[in-house]
Every structure is written in structure tokens, then in C-alpha cells.
Amino acid sequence: MLATIALRWQDLVVIGISLCAVLAIGALSAQRSKSAEGYFLAGRSIPGWVLGFSMMSTIVSSMTFLALPATTYEFNWWQFPGNSTYIIAVVAALVLFVPFYRKAKLSSAYEYLELRFGTWARLYAAICFLMFHVVRMGIILYVVGLAVQASVGSGLIPILLILGTLVAVYTIVGGLQAVIWTDLFQGIALIGGGLVCLPIITSQLPEGFGQIIEVGRAENKFSWISSQADQQSTWAVICSKIVMYLMMVGTDQTSVQRYSAARTDKEARHAVVLAGVLAVPVWTYFFFIGTALYVFYKVIPDPAMAELKTDQIFAHFILTQLPGGLTGLVIVGLLAAALSTLDSSINACAATVTNDFYRRLWSSDRSSRHYANVGKLVSIFFGVIMIGTATVIHIMRARGAVEDLQTVLLSIFGGGLLSLFLLGFLTRRVHSRPACIATCVTVLTVVIWLLVNSSLAETLIPSVSQLLPDNIWIGVFSNIILFSIAYGLSWLQKIDSPKDLTGLTIWTR
């Protein structure tokens, strides 16, 4: 169990100043968030470099700060090739997604699906998005709560309540404007907090930085080949990460909001490039931190290691090895990694409920200020749900690698969502009916897959259960199934659809 170590006054000052700065940004953003466009799209006025930092902060999250070092500490760099595929998603965003969303001036990613396939597609995609982000917010809040608990010695539930309330307050008050500008501050804190750690590690090793390389190579800690052959292969991670990142940049409301919030098309493109330029090196650095920690505790043994889970080792190092003030800075970086993801998810979920459900289905002729107020109320709701989900995870004592869990969740709740967007963008043949049939078949397939791969099925029908690959493949195969069925069915119908596809596909834009 992670030991409770009291923070020094210098650390408390650094943390207090940082949290006050976040709340101040939220308050300053409130005046610009009184209309729907101001609250959900930041008035379409954000500079590209700020958006780039915001996108990086959102995708990196506290999973990077704790889970990636844990992976390389326990195993090796087998997840690195998968994370590197984010570059593929950046290229796809520049070529395909950003131009479409910017030109259409949409307030929601799922508006596009309604224009292309009908209302059912918009609602299906919006529901998938909401389900994933509700669970993801709970996981992230829970993970960062565990790290904070070790610093303050309090019960976990009060910590979840305080952190959840903090992120909800500035998000509710300032909207996307507050989210983006606090993400800039938090992104800098995240990078700065991480950069502090490696010099501390190398300064205490007898042979310095070279010892990390030497021992790491001798122990095969830099290998890209999976050492978990019985669980997942490197190729499974690569393929699932490609799908996950393409979904994030192309179908996720948190990304589409930022494309729309940029002042110009050029700045939107610059934001996407900057996010990729920052995210991959940040991931690489935190992979290396895990290897450095492995060498550090191998050379300088600590009896506490025997009682710690791998997700707790980096937090233990921060609390026991860093001097006063620097510990606070790194904890701020950890908090920043979590808050920048949580605030984006709360605002994006509020935008989705307000625009894709409330405005679309119940009240389409109210003032812009009315929709902004509805968004604030919905943000409160998701703040409560986030805290509740994290509490449930705590009560259930969730186990397992959080990074892998996030990938599996996105694969399951995605239900072929990426292919639905790609069918819209890349084809003229596929219309509503084949897309709807393919989506239903895909969802049914995913449900059956999960049932067959469940512990009950392993007991009742072990021979069948063993035939299916790991659940991490769900996202890959569900998208292949949906695209193939929809495109195949499109050849069985006449193409002379009365629907105008102008501006909705790459062939008609």
C-alpha cells in the first residue's frame, strides 16, 4: 500500500497557487460564455497554438502520468509503437476531419451524421460518446484521487468530491473558453512536472544517465516486443490504438469543439500539428521515466516496493525523493493531467446533450443565452455523475491496467463509430438504410463477443470462448464489420437517392 507522506509547506503553497489560478481563469472566462457559441465553442476565437496545447493536455491525461511509467517499469516499451500511431491520426485530421468540420460550421460532431444518414445516426453516436466519457471521467478521477490520497492522508471519497467539484466549478462557469485556457496552463504544468523527475533520478544513480541505458538494455526494458504474450500482442495494441486515435480526432466531440473554436482554418490545422508534435514526445518521455524508475529502485532498493502496485510507484518516488516545492510542482503536473481531460469531457458531454438531444428533439427555437444556461445545468449533472462513477469504481475496488481499460472501453462503446463517419466521408453509395443495418449488426456482434468472452462463458462453453481474441480487438473488428456490411449492402440498392450530398463527402465537397 502507498505510504502516506505529509506534504511540506512549500508544496502546499505551489499547489494552492496553481488551483487558485485555475479558478481565476474560469471566472475571467465567464463573461465570454453567456451565449451558446461562447459557452460551447469559445466564440470561435482561440489562437491555434493555445488549442494545440489544449488538445495535447486532453489526450495525454493522468493515464500518461501514472500508467505509462507503470507499464515500462513492470514490462518494457511494448505500448510505444501503439502510442506513436497518433501521428497517423494527426494526418487524417489534417486531410479529412478538420476541413469538413470547419467548412460545415457545426456545433456538434454528430450533426454531420444526421445530415449524412439521418437522426438515428446522430443519436446513436451521441449516446456512444456519452457512455464512454462518463466511464472515462470516473476512471481518471479515481486514479488521480489515489495519488492525492497518499499525499494528504485523507479518505478517498472526500478527495474525489473536492477534485470533482473543483474541475466542475470552473468548467461550468467559464465553458470551453475556461477549458482551453486552463488546459494551456495545465499542459505547461504537466510537462514541467515531468521534466523535474529525470534529473533527480540520474543525480542519485552512481553512474548517472548512462546507467539507465546500460541496465535497461541488459534487462531488455527498451524492447518493443510484448512481454505479455498470453494477454495481448504488440500488433493488437497498435491496431486498437490506431482506431482509438482516429476516433478521438474524427468522431469525438472534445476534438471537434476545438476545430470549431479556432479563429481560422489555418490555425485549426496548426493546432492539430502542435498537439501531435507535443503528445508523442511527452508519451515517450514518460515511457522513459518508467524505465528510469526501474533502474533507480534496482540500484537503490526500497523495501516499500514490495507492497506497491506498479501504478503507485511513480507517485511513491515523487513523495519520497523530491525536495520541498518540487514535489508540489510535480503533483500540480499530475493534477493538471487529470483536470485537463475531465474539464474537456464535462464541457463536451454538456454540448452533446444540449445540441444533439435538447435542442434537436425538444426545443429548437430558444435564444442562444438559453442554450448556454442549459449547458451549464447539464455540466453540473455530469460533474455529479463523474464523482459518482469514481466513487463506484472505488467501492468496487477496480483492478487492472487503466490504460488498457480505457482502450477496451472506447472499443466497446465505439461500436464501429469510426466506420460510420468514414462511410459518410468517403463514399457516395452508402445511404441511411445500409448504414443502419450494418450498425445494428455490429452492435449485436459486439454484445455477443462480450458475452462469449465473459467469465461465465469461459465456464460453460470454454471451447467456444477460447476461439475469440482478447477484447482489445473489439474496436478494430467492429469497424471492419460495419464498413464492410454497409458498403456491401449499398450494392444491393439503387444509388438514385434523392438526398443531396453536396459538401458531405470528399467527392462532393
Torsional sign, CA 187, 256, 48, 285: positive
387: CB partners within 8 A, 6+ apart: 141, 160, 161, 164, 165
Task: Please report the domains of the chain, with CATH numbers, ordered by start residue.
Answer: 9-414 (1.20.1730.10), 415-509 (no CATH)
**pLDDT grade, residue 399 (50/70/90)?**
very low
pLDDT recorded at residue 407: 53
**Helix-helix angle 253-261:109-116, to 10 degrees:** 100
- Does 402 have pLDDT greater than 60? no
pLDDT mean over 457-462: 65
How remote is the C-alpha of 255 from its chain's centroid? 10
Residue type at 8 in one-letter notation: R
Backbone angles phi, psi at 499, to 5 degrees: -70, 130
pLDDT recorded at residue 229: 46
- Does 394 have pLDDT greater than 70? yes
**Radius of gyration (C-alpha) of the chain in whole angstroms:** 23
CA 226 → CA 235, 282, 401, 490, distances in Å? 9, 21, 15, 40
User: What is the residue-wise DSSP string for 112-140?
Assistant: HHHHHT-HHHHHHHHHHHHHHHHHHHHHH
Give per-residue pLDDT as tens, 18-58: 777 777 777 777 666 667 777 777 777 788 888 888 888 77
pLDDT mean over 428-453: 85
Query: Pick from 196, 190, 194: which is nearest to 339 by CA?
Result: 190
Rounded distance, CA 360 to CA 337, Å?
33
Instruction: Find cell 489534417 and name the residue.
Output: 94
Find the DSSP H helices in 105-252. Answer: 109-116, 119-152, 156-204, 209-218, 234-250
Query: Pick from 68, 101, 34, 19: which is nearest to 503 by CA?
Result: 101
Predicted TM-score (pTM) of this structure: 0.83
Query: Pick from 334, 355, 336: which is nearest to 130 by CA?
Result: 355
Query: Pick from 425, 472, 362: which is nearest to 103 by CA?
Result: 425
How remote is the C-alpha of 55 from its chain's centroid? 10
Quick one: cell of 188?
A: 505547461
What is the tally of helices (H) and strands (E) in the chain?
23, 0
- Contact assessment for residue 347 and residue 257, using Cβ atoms and an 8 Å cutoff: yes
pLDDT recorded at residue 53: 85
- Contact assessment for residue 302 and residue 310, using Cβ atoms and an 8 Å cutoff: no
User: Residue 262 forms beta bridges with which residues?
Assistant: 46
pLDDT mean over 277-285: 89
pLDDT mean over 388-403: 66
Give per-residue pLDDT as tens, 107-148: 778 888 888 898 899 998 888 888 888 888 888 888 778 777
| Highest mean pLDDT (candidates 73-87, 249-263, 281-295) | 281-295
Residue type at 482 in one-letter notation: L
- Contact assessment for residue 63 and residue 143, using Cβ atoms and an 8 Å cutoff: yes
